[in-house]
Structure 1
C-alpha cells in the first residue's frame, strides 16, 4: 500500500514509524533537531537493545553541529544499539522501520514539522509483497547503501552471554559497548576535515561475551615484541613463511556475493558480503532469488538463494575445493 501524504497525516506517519519500530529504525535526514515531543517518542526505545537505530545526517561540512547539535548527539548516545553516519552532500530524507517507510521532503527537525509545507509517499509492507520489488524496498536499500558506505561517527552495540542453567538456552543481554566514537572531530573543532576510513560493515551487529576471554592472553615483554616485529618484517620482505609461526593461516578460498558479485571468502553458510547480508536480513527470506553463483560468480538468473547459494552444475566442483 502506498499513499501520498502532507500536513498532519505526514507528521503522524513519521511519529508512528519511530514509535512502532521493533527491529530496525532507519532515519535519513540532513538536519536533526529534537524538541521534547520527539525525545519522548525515542525514549520508548531507550532500554531496547534489540532495536537497531541507524541515523544518517549531513550538510554543513564546516560546522556540523548545525546539522546535528552536540546536545542531540549526546541524547542518541544513550541508546544501547545505535549507529550514526555522516554524509556531507546529503539532501534526501527517509524514515523507515521493518514494516513501513516514507520517502519525504521533511527533516527530523521540529521547525519543519511546525512551519513548512512538506510532502511524502508512504508505503507499508504486507506479508504478500515483502518479496516483491517496491519503491519502499528500493528506498530502504538505497538508504542502507548510504549508511554502510559513508563516514561512521558513532557505533554502540549490545553484548550478550549464553544463558546458563539446566533448562536455560539462548542468550541474555549484559551491556552495551561503544565500538567507535569520532565526535571530538566534529564537535571539538566544529569541522569534519578528516574522512574516517571506518564504515558500518566494519562492525558486528552484536558482541559475544562468551568468546571474548576464551584464551588467556600471554604476557609479551617490550623487547620480545620488538624482536618479533623485526623477524616478521624480514620474512615478509623475503616473501618467506616462517615454519615456527603457527599463527599463519592458509589463504582463504575466493567466493562471490550472490547479490553483488563482490569477491568474498568462500563460505556457503554466509554467501553474501556484510553490506548485502544486512540488507537481506531485513526480511531474512532464505529462498529469495539472488543474482550470482557463490562458487563461480556467474549470473544465476534467480536460481541461487541464501539457502542454495551455488548453482547445481557447480556443486561437485565447489565441494572438491
Structure 2
C-alpha cells in the first residue's frame, strides 16, 4: 500500500532506502550534493560488490558540476559496482531498492533535506508485486528506462573467477574494473559529452575473468603499417520470438523450453527443483520468460522478464 509522506517521515524513508539496499539501489535526482551524513549512509556499501548502484542525475548542461560536483562524483567512483548516467532534461526524483521506493519532489541534496518542504509517495514492494501494474512499479521501470537510454558517464563492475578445488563451487570476487569513464571530458569542458552513444546495455553486469582471455586476439595491420588489435569477438545469439496468437506461451528462464506464461512461475518443474537447492531469487538465469531470447544473466526468478519486454508483457 502506498503512503503519502512529508517532513521527517519522507527524510527517513530516503535514508532507509539507501541504508537497507542489498541488491539494487536506484537513485534519480537532477541535483546531488552529499553532506557527511549522506556519505556515512553510503559508506555502508563501500565494499559490497553485490550491490548494484545506479545513479541518474541531470540539468546544467553548460556547467554540470552544479548538478553533481567533482568531489561527490569521485566519492561514488569508489564503489565496486556503480553506474552513473546523465539525463539533460531530468526533473523527476525517485529513490528505490529491491524492497521499497519513493516517488518524490526532493533532490539528493543536503539543503533540500534541511530547508525545503517536500512531498513523496512511498511503497514497499514484494517480489510478486513486480509482476503487476501499479504506480510504484511503473515508476521503477520508467526510471530504469531513463538509466538505460541515456548517456553513460561512468561504469565500474565487479570481476569474478571460479572457485578452485574439489569441494568448491560458484564464483569468488577478485576486484572491480572501470569499464567506462568520460568524466574528464564531462567535467573538463564543463559540458556533457553529448556525442557519446554509450549506454548501460553496452556493458555487462559483471566480468568473468575465466572467460576474459579465452579467445586469442588477432593482430591487424593498418595501411600505414601501424598495429592495432582486434578485440575478442562477442558471442552471437539467435533468439525465439513470441509466437503469434499464443499469448499464454512463456519460456523457462533456465532452459528456454516452452511453458505457460506466468511470471510468478517462470521455470519448468525440473528447473525449479534445481533452483530450489539454493533458493537464490537474484541468481542470473539464461532466458527471458516473455520472449524466450537469451538474457545473459539479466533475468532472475525475481525479475524473469527482460526490462525491454516488460511493458509488452504486462499489456498482453
Q: CA deviation at 1:214?
A: 2.0
- Quote the residue 1:283 is aligned against: 302
The TM-score, its normalising length taken from structure 1, stands at 0.74
CA distance in 2, matches of 1:169, 1:157: 21
CA contact (8 A) 2:222 2:228 kept: no
User: Is the aligned partner of 1:135 residue 2:135?
Assistant: yes
What is the CA RMSD across the aligned residues, in angstroms? 3.6
CA distance in 1, matches of 2:161, 2:233: 29
**How many angstroms apart in 1 are the aligned matches of 2:29 and 2:301?**
21
Q: Distance in 2 between matches of 1:132 and 1:77?
A: 35
2:31–2:67 contact (8 Å) kept in structure 1? yes
2:287 equivalent to 1:270: yes
Distance 1:252-1:33 versus aligned 2 partners, 3 A rule: closer
Greater Cα radius of gyration, structure 1 or 2: 1
2-structure distance, mates of 1:128, 1:300 = 13
Per the TM alignment, residue 213 of structure 1 is displaced from its structure 2 partner at its CA by 1.8
2: CA distance, partners of 1:152 / 1:248: 23
Counterpart in 2 of 1:17? Answer: 17
Any residues of structure 2 matched to 1:82-97 within 5 Å, and which?
82-97=82-97
- Deviations along 1:23-73, one digit per CA (max 9) or x if unpaired, are 000000000000000000000000000000000000000000000000000
Match of 1:63 in 2: 63
- Residue 277 of structure 1 deviates from its aligned partner by 8.2
* Residue number in structure 2 paired with 1:242: none
Mapped contact 1:49–1:81 kept (Cα < 8 A): yes
* Partners of 1:98 and 1:282 within 8 A in 2: no
CA distance in 2, matches of 1:12, 1:248: 48
In structure 2, the CA distance between the partners of 1:281 and 1:253, relative to structure 1 (3 Å rule), is closer
My pick for the range that moved more, 208-217 or 54-63, is 208-217
- What CA distance in whole angstroms lies between the structure 2 residues aligned with 1:276 and 1:37? 38
- The answer to whether residue 200 in structure 2 is matched with residue 181 in structure 1 is no
Offset from partner CA, 1:106-159 (integer Å, 9 cap, x none) = 000000000000000000013553432221110000000000000000000000
Q: Describe the shift of the 1:164–1:224 C-alpha distance in structure 2 as closer, same or farther (beyond 3 A).
A: farther
Secondary structure of the equivalent of 1:27? strand
Q: Residues 205 and 274 of structure 1: is their aligned pair in 2 closer, same or farther, counting only changes over 3 Å?
A: farther
Q: CA separation of 1:62/1:291 partners in 2, compared to 1, >3 Å: closer, same or farther?
A: closer
* Conservation of the 8 A alpha-carbon contact between 1:148 and 1:275: no
87 and 248 in structure 1: CA distance in 2 versus 1, 3 angstrom threshold: closer
Secondary structure, aligned partner of 2:287 = coil
2:156 is matched with which residue? 156
The Cα of 1:219 is off from its aligned counterpart by 5.3
Residue 211 (1) aligns with residue 230 (2) = no
> Paired residue for 1:105?
105
Q: Is the 8 A contact 1:57 1:85 kept in 2?
A: yes
**Distance 1:182-1:300 versus aligned 2 partners, 3 A rule:** closer
- 2:78 equivalent in structure 1: 78
Structure 2 gap segments, 5+ residues each: 248-254, 257-285
SS at 2:103 equivalent: strand
- For residues 62 and 20 of structure 1, the distance between their equivalents in structure 2, rounded to whole angstroms, comes to 35
Distance 2:174 2:57 in 1: 30
Aligned length: 269
